Structure 1
Amino acid sequence: MKRKFKIAAAALAAMAIFTACAGDKGVESGKLTVSTSINPVNQIVTIIGGDKVEVSRMVPAGSEAHDFEPTIRDMETLSKSKILFISGLGMEPWSDKAKETTGAKDLVTAELSSGMDLIALDDADHSDGEEDHGEYDPHVWLSLDGMVTMAENAEKALSAASPENAEYFRQNLEAFRNDVLELKGEYIPKFASYQGKAFVTGHAAFGYMCRELGLEQMSVEGPFQEGEPTPKKLEELISFAKENSIKTIFLEEQASPKVSETLAREVGASTETLNPLESEGDLLQTMKENYDKILKSME
């Protein structure tokens, strides 16, 4: 998928205005003011920050994260933030330029995927011939362990920016970690008898989930939704689905369903929706719903 970053000339001209706002930076109604990128980042920062942090999400629900272009209003909001929280690994190609454009020298970027055990991508997956997307699968939040690491990174950044609230952030982190561990304890045993089994989905977003659950994913599109597969790739998917008695082809809400629906018809399978959480959905509730759908498809 070709990704571009464009900032209107008016936004560049507004740099002086952004800089003039620096006196208000980081404080809104007594709260630490921060900006976030995509849905999972926004939710984690909101959970850990609680009522001590004013959070503004930049990439709106329903938007494709890789193609997002900040508006003038987004840039003004960012200029007043103490921290810009991103997931990293190529999910926010606009972030460095946005930070530079604000002229806000003390704006900190906190990358929540930092320190994770990453899944390397094949050459064909991280480059589409027009653009190099990076070496690693960026969908770290689709692992429960990944969510915890993201929350730990959020807590560190918030505590550094607002040390007087560090204990509050730590308590929120512990509560979130306990919720995640409870969900993990419920579902890891349920998948134990399906080790090595595969499911077919619209795009390859579920690598970290599969590693955690002991599953395998086959996908219509790569991790960056690079477009429709070649006829050869579609034939391979049809053969795989038939050979492995795949009964469900999963779609994602933001991926085109056309090829997945064609694949389902070819192999006599039904279709069901998985939510990769990139744009919307409550983190733990949606993970639970995804798990239940995958389990049902393997029964």
Structure 2
Amino acid sequence: MKKLSFQLTLIIALSVSVALLAGCGKDDTYAQEEGKVNVVTSFYPLYFFAKEIGGEHAHVVNLIAAGVEPHEWTPKSRDLDAASKAQLFLYNGAGLEGWVDGFLKGLGSGSQVLTVEASQGIELIQGNPEHGHKHEGEQTDATGTEAEHSHEGEETDHDHEGAAEDDHDHEGEDAEHSHSDLDVDPHTWTSPRSALVMAANIRDAFVKVDPENGAAYESNYSNLEKQLRELDDKFTQELAGYKRRDIVVSHQAFGYLCRDYQLNQIAIMGLSPEAEPRAQDLLEIAKFVKDNGIPYIFFEELVSEQLADTLAREAKVDTLVLNPLEGLTPEQEKAGDNYFTLMERNLKNLQKALQ
């Protein structure tokens, strides 16, 4: 009898432990907070900007966990459920989230969520380098001049009446929207100038869904805007004095940064980091690195650096990190890194590579 009681006690204890662990899992993270604007973001930069602007009046959750590469992520039904119950869903647009069309339709006609394409108003860089590599010192972006943007009064929400569909997993959904089929560069946030437009769009969205706290959102945005403008000035001034303007990167993620600060990126891989370059492309880049005395090849932390390392060995140069800020690693998250600390690190590494 004692043995049976012990077994029963153990089963009960294990059941309680499992329940407690489940309560600490992702579903708990997605729980809404009463009295706040509940916001769901598609990836890290939007999460950071929304936290800064929303402040104490917002509860912000990010769909993509630390250490996960956004290009490889697709949503599940719990992600759709979280977004449908929120007041705001923020996504980058410009083709970054290949799954977003089906996701927005899946929110259903009963959802009150305001969906916002944060890149709205940015002059997008046209062309897909995966459909034709340009290496020999050619610019991969459309222009070297700063684009003027207007976002005042823009409406970025979508009407999804009648668009309900069954709740389901979106793994592998919408293959036609894969990153390899992009015809624009989606990596808008890598330039502080584009980030300013995105932050303003997010501010406008907060004011629209919660006008009572509009003054707080405006104030928080002003603080963020000041930091972004200071960062823009710093990039402009500290990158201006170098004769060398070429950077070799593992992933074609820095078109907006290069456009705004008059740099030229030569990419090993195209818009999607999973795209495999041809052997001829690697040989051409290695030749370019040697012929032009490029001292470093940049890689990023959420994508394997194998190709960058291979090319660096072939060209007899070193590697450095240039972070596309698509997400934090668990180590960066633990250390308290954010958009600004990582961009400052990028600036230092760019200066080192341009010397």
Q: Tell whether the structures are fold-level matches, with TM greater than 0.5.
A: yes
**d(CA) in 2 for partners of 1:123, 1:199:** 16
Question: What pairs with 1:132-171 in structure 2 (closer than 5 Å)?
Answer: 133-171=181-219
| Structure 1 counterpart SS, 2:241 | helix
CA contact (8 A) 1:37 1:85 kept: yes
Query: What are the within-5 Å matches in structure 2 for residues 108-257 of structure 1?
Result: 108-122=114-128, 124-125=130-131, 133-194=181-242, 197-257=245-305
Secondary structure at the residue paired with 1:200?
strand
Q: How far 1:81 moved relative to its partner?
A: 0.4
Give the corresponding residue for 2:53.
Answer: 48
Distance change (3 Å), C-alpha of 1:228 and 1:71: same
**Given the two structures, how large is their TM-score scaled by the length of structure 1?**
0.85
**Percent of aligned pairs sharing the same letter:** 32
Give 1 or 2 for the bigger CA radius of gyration: 2
Q: Does 1:31 align with 2:36?
A: yes
The correspondence for 2:67, drawn from 42, 62, 65, is 62
Instruction: Measure how far apart 1:132 and its partner are.
Output: 5.8
1:149 to 1:228, Cα distance in 2 relative to 1, 3 A: same
Matched with 2:316 is 268
Contact 1:68 1:94 in 2 (8 A): no
Q: Match for residue 15 of structure 1?
A: none
Check whether the contact 1:202–1:260 (CA below 8 A) recurs between aligned residues.
yes
- What is the rounded CA distance, in whole Å, between the counterparts of 1:271 and 1:66 in structure 2? 23
Deviation at 1:256?
Answer: 2.1
Q: CA deviation at 1:187?
A: 2.9
Contact 1:194 1:215 in 2 (8 A): no
Q: How far off its partner does 1:226 sit? A: 4.0
Tell whether 2:80 aligns with 1:75: yes
The 3-state SS of whatever aligns with 1:84 is strand
- Partners of 2:194 and 2:243 lie apart in 1 by 20
Structure 1: distance between partners of 2:57 and 2:204: 14
Deviates more, 1:260-269 or 1:191-200: 191-200
Q: CA RMSD in A?
A: 2.3
2:345 is matched with: 289
Residue identity in the other structure for 1:217: Q
Cα distance in structure 2, aligned partners of 1:263 and 1:123: 19
Partner of 1:101: 106
Aligned-pair distance for 1:130?
7.8
SS in 2 for 1:88: coil
Of the structure 1 ranges 153-162 and 104-113, higher mean CA displacement relative to structure 2 is found in 104-113
In the superposition, relative to structure 1, how do residues 240 and 64 fare at CA in structure 2: closer, same or farther (>3 Å)?
same
Q: 1:65 to 1:211 in 2, by over 3 A?
A: same
Q: CA deviation at 1:96?
A: 2.8
| Number of equivalent positions | 274
Q: Distance in 2 between matches of 1:31 and 1:98?
A: 24
Is contact 1:204–1:221 with CA below 8 Å preserved after alignment?
yes
CA shift digits 1:157-208 (9 cap, x unpaired): 1100001111111111111111111222223111112266101111010111
TM-score by length of 2: 0.72
